[in-house]
Each structure stands twice: as structure tokens, then as C-alpha cells.
Chain A
Amino acid sequence: MLLYLFNTSVYAQTGSECTFSLQGTILYEDSNLPVEGALVFVEELDRYVLTSADGKFKFEKICQRNYKLHIDMISCGHKDTIIHVPQTGICIILLQPTEKTSEIIIQGNQTSDPSILNSRTELSGQELERIRGATLGEALKTIPGVYALQTGPSIFKPVIHGMHSNRILILNNGVRQEGQQWGSEHAPEIDPFIATKLTIIKGPASIRYGSDAIAGVILVDPAEMPSAKGINGEVNLVGASNNRMGVSSGMMQGALDKKLSGLSWRVQGTYRRAGNAKTPDYYMENTGFQEVNYSTALAYTKTRFGGALYYSQFNTKLGIFTGSQAETVPDIIAAINRPEPITPSYFSYKIDRPYQQVKHDLFKANGYIRFSNTNRLDITFARQQNIRSEYDYLPLTGITTPELYLDLTSHSIDMVYKHAISNTIEGSVGFNGMTQGNIRMYQMLIPNFRNYSGGIFAIEKWTRNKWTVEAGMRYDYKWLRAYMVDNTTAQIITPTFNWQNATGSAGTRYVIKKNLFWVVNVSNAWRAPTVNELLSNGVHQSAVAYEIGNINLRTERSYNASTEINYQSKRLQADMELYNNYINGYIFLKPDLSYIHTARGAYPSYTYTQVNAVFRGADISVGYRVIDSLYFYTKTSLLFAYNKTIHDYLQLVPANRFENTLKYVFKNNGKFKQAYISVTSIYTAKQKRVPANSDYAAPPSGYMLINADIGCSVPMGNQQISISFSVQNIGNIRYRDYMDRFRYFTDEPGRNFTLRMKIPFTLLTQHA
């Protein structure tokens, strides 16, 4: 449930102490209609009232102090909030219904987050539950404009508006995720089970979150820490048929009271294990994975100040499909010419060489001070360590060390001061600072490096009547020094770089009618070249390429314009976004059309090159309530990318995608609640816009997948257990995807049945 906006806070005051009154209005978050009969309980007074027909409540004889309000309403979740007296203004509390049967739900709702500088889409609640068990990159594919870059059936990287890797920032619980994200087969090291909400910000969003976010930002947010005394939690279980994946994830949390009031804690852990995935015809050898993650949090929350400590660890071991082991060009061409991998496989959970092993530790400490209901200072410190080991086949020397070992440690500090300048202007100013140290061992792919970066920003938003205008500015500085051995002299050399840039964004929203608004944004962002783009030089075995860095690369600059129109009514909800992202100095690996001979044979050589590129497209999503219980959703993602410098298409850009869903929601009937059945068809077109002679094989054909879901919630004791059952690729069709780097070697997985269960539990409850 969400408390969205204190328009401002509370209360007409009269004279001295304990003569204030506390009054406010409770509204439904989705419709803005008043909530009649909501229970408003004030902890400090031990008194409650019910809201009137216009959603209003009032308490008299209020003293000058903090009050904790608990709001409960049938079919809404519990909501609590702390209010400081005295404050003038009107308190509006928004309640979100938990059973959204009376309104249209678009998968991935438009959020009402204050910032309008970028299009935002959110996945939470039932929509998130439906994709539980999937990796982050796979889960986000349900959102228009978001795609995935795949390496076999288990490695997914999110792609937003055609770009990925370093051009997307992922904020894991508020901390910028820093691993070796430049690698196309390096998936985000995040356990999606920590999140109760995934937010996708499309388009350059550098102002608030830091440079590099040319494509967009992904926010992975856990639930707020509990505030009501007691201990509760939930267990999630997922089983899938195709790769016989089993996932179990548990969470337990609690809050304390009396002298320890304000203290809360949470522990969480996930175990995922899967074996070889199966295409309609054969198993893919060595595609299993094993993942163990846990996190723990301790928070102290008071009205005026508070803080939290958070620690999480992510561990994965990912088998690399052995059928993809093409060491040279002839190997790749031979593999392409085979209808299926030459080596028959079978089901097994065993993970053999080649495989990747990644461990990611995150420690975070944050604190806040609230100066008033609108002004607060947040400080976050984080330390991350990402250790990646990649193992090839066991070498002839018998050495069991990894071929590649990279250890990246990042320290960051973020300070944000949120403030309201007047009733119509609010915003935030802040600072982000980070330093990273990278240590490599064994083979040389990227060198050791140390970097320092810092940025300051300011964003202000002005709202008046139907207009909202928001603008932001940012300045960043980045310094990088690499430590590497000179090729001939064997002396340590230290190439050093620094970059700085100022960026700005502006957006405006106009509410045409109550349920129709229009947004226009212009923004720019920049990205410094990464160390692999500058200094790599050598065979990239998994890509069958000899990659050559370019020490003269300049920064990449993005100029994005987008417009969005959103309409919501009882029957229809529609959202359309058009974007045009022009990138000056877009860095990519350009084929040199020549070969470098090694003992293994010839490798095609590629050099990091800068061109001017443009990514333009449309993300459209429409939901229509056909009859009371029947909903139709359609989502379209269109994307066109050009290399303006040579007037040709760009490589490895996702094809257009069309998704249609028919969903029937059953009336709550006895024990079964929130029951639904849905059928989805996803059509991915053939990517015809590819440059000539840039690939070993033509892009695979378009394909249509049919998926189905059925789910409901049933009571067990006092809890509602959510159960869902889904089938992906019902037709068990054979297909390959252009965005899968293993498209040369294998089909995608065939039919997959997934059973999901969410079991909440309560161990100790608060005494009412």
C-alpha cells in the first residue's frame, strides 16, 4: 500500500499546547476518490475514528509532538505514517486497494513518482509475483521498450530502448550496482526476490542517478521496513519443468516497541538451482546454474532521524552451454550449418567447465535527518565487492585456476537533500561520489585500475494547476588510471584519463483532462568510455573475436527527446511513448574485416569505434476492460536504430515486439480470491535492419510464443496463500532469438511449466 503524497501536512492550530486539531483526508490511490469508513488510529492517543463519506477525519485536543497514524480499510492494506504537529496544511493519505478487481490493471503500471523527467514503469504486486523465479533481465522483458540480451538459457541482461550493459544503471536497494557490467555475458548480480517493486526508468536519467545512464535506470526496491510490532514473513516457492528448476526464497522481519521503538530487522535468503534446459528436441549440455543469495537489514526509524544497515551477498555458478564452444571462425560456421548441436546431451544438474562463478557483496549504511515534512537529508554509504571467475575447459597444463579473475571493489557515498522551496516548488540537490579498484589475475582482458568520480546535481519541480515543469542540472568529473604491463618492456605503465561534463534535462506535464495527461521531455546524458573500450587487446574467447581497444575514445553524449500521452478511464487505460535518442560518439565494436592469426587459428578482429547513432522508437500499452471480468491488454515495442556516420543499421538491436493478453478475472468466490486466467501471445519480428556482412549468419526468423497463466489466492489459517501456474511456449515451438548470443548454436528452450506459491506468515502480532 502506498502513501503517496502529503500534499503538505496537517493542521490548523490554535493557541497553546494540546489545543491543536489533526485533520486530513483519505483517498484511494488509484482513483483519488474519498475512502469512507476507513479506521484511523492514533497510536499516541490510543483513539480511533472512522472517516466520513468525503474521506475526512479529525482529532481534537492534539499536543505539539509526533503522532503515528495507522489507517486500515477493508480491501486495502494497512498504512501507517508519522505526522508532526504543528504543521499547517491539509493531510491527504492515499490508500491503495489490494484487490484491484474494480479497475483496469496494466501490467507495469504507470507510477505517480514525483519525477516527470523520464517515463517510468513499475512492476509490483501480482505482476511481480507472476515472474518470480526468473532472473532480473528475464523478468523485465514484460515491459514495453525493455528487451533482454541473452547468453544461452540462463544469462539475461536487460536492454532498454536498444542499449544495455554500461548504458543502464541498476540501483539495487538504492545503491548503484557495480560489477563487470561491460561484459555482454555478465548478468546483473541481483536477487530479484529482495524486491517488492521494480521500476524501469526509460531514457537518459543521469541527472539524479549519475552519468552513464544513457539508456535508462532500473530501481530494485525492497519493501519498506516494518513499523508495527510483531514478526512476520513470507516463503516463496517456484518449480519449473523445463530445466527442473527449484527456487525457494524466505523472508522474515520484525519491529520492536517500547524502549526499542523504531528498531526493525529483516533477514532474507534465496536458493535457486536448475539443470540443463531443453529445447523442443534436445537438452542443452551444461546450462544448469546454482545460486545462493541472502540479505539482512537493521533499521532505526524515527520521525526526525533514522538510519539503516544492510548487507547482502549474491553467489552464482553458471554453466556455459558446451555446444557454444566455437573457438574459431570455422567452428562457428560449422555450428551454424548444423541443425542442432552435434553432441547429444541429457538432463543433469551437474555444472562442468566451462562455467562462471560470481560473488557480489554489498554493504550499505544510510541515515536521514528530517527537517520538516518536506525537507530531508539522506546520506548513503556503500561498499561493494564483485569477484568474477571464469573457467574455460580444463587446460592441458592441468591448472585448475580460472582463466579470468576480476575483483572489483567500489565505495560510494551519496547525499541528497530533498526540499520544498514553496508550496509549488520542490526538488532535491545532491552529491554522488565513488571510487573503484579493479584487480585482475591470470589472463589479461582488462587491466587493473583505480577510478574516482563525483557529481553534483539539482532538480526542481514546479506544479501549478494543470502544469508541472521539472528541470535538472548535473556536473560530473571522472578520473581513471589503469595499471598494466607494457607489451615490450614489461614495465608497469599507468595510462590515465579524466573526463568532465555538464548535463541538463527538462520536462513538462500538462493535465489535459482529469484522466488524460501529456508529457514532453528533453534530456541529455553522457558516459565515459569504459576500461575495456579503451584498453582491451586480445582474444575474447566467448565472442570469437579479437577485440582492440581505442585509447583515443571520447565521451559518449546522448540527446533524447520523448513524449508520452496517458489516458485512464474505467474501461480503458492507454499509454504511448515516442522517443528519439541521438548519441554523439556511440561506442561499439566495429568489425575490421580482417583476421588476426593465433595458434588456434584466425580470429576476426574488431576495434572499438565511435559513430553518431540514433535510437528511435515507440512503446505502446493499452488495456481495455471488455466486460466486467474480461480484460484485454496489448503492448507494442518498436525500435529503429541507425548508424548515422556510415548510413547503415546498428548491429544487435532488438527486433519489434508485439504482446497481446486476454485475462479473465473471477469474482471472489468463497475461499478463492483474486483468481484469474490469462493467455498471452508474444510475437517477436525478424530483425531485418542489420548491416550487411556484419554477422556470421542472417538473423533468425520471427516467432510467436503462446503463454498461459492461472492463479488465485486461498486462505490458510489467517493468511492468504497465492498460487499460480503458468506455461511458457505452449506450442513447444522451435525458435531462435536475435538477441541471444548463442543463436548460432542452439534453439531456445521449449515448453515450460512453472508452479509458484507465496506463503505469508505471522509469528507475533501487535496487540490492537
Chain B
Amino acid sequence: MHKPYIINMKEIQTVLVCITTITLLYSCNKKVEAVAPTISNEALTTVSLIVRNTQAPFDIDTATWQQLLDKNGNPLPTDVSKANLILKANTTYHTELLILDKTQTPYFNVSNEIEARANYHLFFYQPLPSTQTFVIPTSPADQLPLPIPSQASTTGPVTSNPLNLTVTITDHDSNPQQYPLGLQTDFATSAASNGWLRILLRHQPNVKNGTFAPGSTDLDVGYTVTIR
């Protein structure tokens, strides 16, 4: 067996005192128990279409798609009860898109910010009948893939007839090529029909070229549309 060293108690004490002191230097903090509020840097909660009949300036209609967030910043079920747009046949409407962030007080107007950063953003409007493949303005190489599940689509009327709506973007960014933006549009209707309208916002920082493909999707919502 090994003969142990003779240990000086003072040495042990010194080591233990050092360790205890260091441990006590770091006492637990209480910040853990105070939960910081959830701040979503970018929450697009509410998207409204405001349509104004070009022939009758007081003929105004709105449709609102909304998805609020819970207290942890996670999306609640989509509210599409007001996402219904009723348009007259053979009419042209000036349309404005209003996007709000209702998680902030007062509500934050996101459309103003998109307008200020028009060179990074591009909206796409996709009038949809029922069963047709989506047709998004796009470069041939980058077709938008299959339709994705959307509550708006399931609540919308199903018909094989096309939705007789043509959307023309009327505002432009400040790029030299003056690419379209899409906060301001003209909706031109023809014969009475039903369908739905899908609106996508593409975020294309430094890569906007007027097509769908570059960048990523910031917003993808839908409305039922009735033309009568």
C-alpha cells in the first residue's frame, strides 16, 4: 500500500476557501423569472384591399384578411370572415393595398414601409378560378409550384368558370428600369363570375428584376371574389 502524504489542514482550507469565494461571487440572478415580451420584428397581421369604382368615386369596398398572433407571437388561426370582395361586372376599380402590423400599438402601417423600400419588394396578384393551375407572372425557369393549402381557398366558391378579373399594377419603384411594385393597382372586371384572388409579396433585396423568382415570400394571402 502507498504511504499517504501528510496533508497540512491549512492547505486544504486554502483550496476550499478559494473555491467557495469564487462560487459566491456569482450569485443567481432573477432575470430568468421576468419574461421579456415577445417582439416580432416583422408581423404582417392584416391585409386589406380597398377598391374604388373609377366611374363612381363613392362606390368603395374593402376586404380584409387577418391573422393575429398569440401572446407568444405565434400565429392564431386565419380570420377570413371579412376576406370577401364583391365587384361589379365590366367595371374598373382603383385598388389600394393596406398592410398593418396589429401587434404594435398604435398599429404599424407596413405598406408605407414597403413603399419606402419599393426597390426590394414586388407584389403578385393571382386571380384564380377553381381548378386551373396557378398562373403567376414569372420567368419560364421558375414556375410557382403547386398551390399550397389555404383556408381562403377552401372557403371560396368552387367553379370551373374563370374569375373574370384583370389586375394591372400602376405604381413603380425607383430602379432605373422602374419595376412595378403593386401597392396600387387597377382591377378590371368583365362578366359575372366567382373565384378567389391570391396576393403574394416577394422580398427581393438587391435582386429585384421584375420577375417572381428572386428572393423569398413575405406574404401569401387569399380573398374570395364575387363579380356580379
Contact = CB atoms under 8 A, between A and B. Distances in A.
A598 B75 contact: yes
Nearest to A8: B2
A437 B29 contact: yes
B39 A304 contact: no
B57 interface: no
A538 B19 CA distance: 42
A658 interface: no
A539 B67 CA distance: 15
B179 to A, nearest CB: 15
Interface string A601-614: 11000000000000
Contact of A599 (B28, B75, B113): B75
Contacts of B5: 84, 304, 370-372
B22 A485 contact: no
Contact of B101 (A397, A398, A401, A439): A397
A369 B71 contact: no
B40 interface: yes
> By CB atoms of chain A within 10 A, which of B4, B41, B117, B221 has the most?
B41
B7 interface: yes
B142 A334 contact: yes
A374 interface: yes
Given A328-B148, A484-B72, A375 B2 contact: yes
A374 B31 CA distance: 45
A127 B36 CA distance: 47
Given A442-B41, A483-B33, A602-B150, A305 B15 contact: yes
User: Chain B interface mostly helix, strand, loop or mixed?
Assistant: loop
A308 to B, nearest CB: 11
A346 to B, nearest CB: 12
Name the interface size band of chain B: 35 or more
A401 B39 contact: yes
Contacts of A435: 28
Given A84-B5, A397-B41, A487-B74, A437 B19 contact: no
B15 A86 contact: no
Interface stretch (B82-90, B166-174, B185-193, B211-219): B211-219
Interface in A325-353: 325-331, 333-334, 337-338, 342-343
A307 B22 CA distance: 13
B145 A397 contact: no
A393 B218 CA distance: 11
Contact of A538 (B36, B74, B104, B150): B74
Nearest to B136: A330
A269 B203 CA distance: 40
Contacts of A450: 28, 32-33
Interface in A263-315: 304-305, 307
A759 interface: no
A381 B75 contact: no
Interface in A8-29: 8
A600 interface: yes
A601 B41 contact: no
A483 B31 CA distance: 10
6 contacts: A327-B218, A397-B113, A401-B39, A447-B35, A595-B149, A602-B220
Interface of B: 1-5, 7, 11-12, 15, 18-19, 22-23, 26, 28-29, 31-45, 47, 67, 70-75, 78, 101, 104, 108, 110, 113-114, 117, 141-145, 148-151, 203, 205-207, 213-221
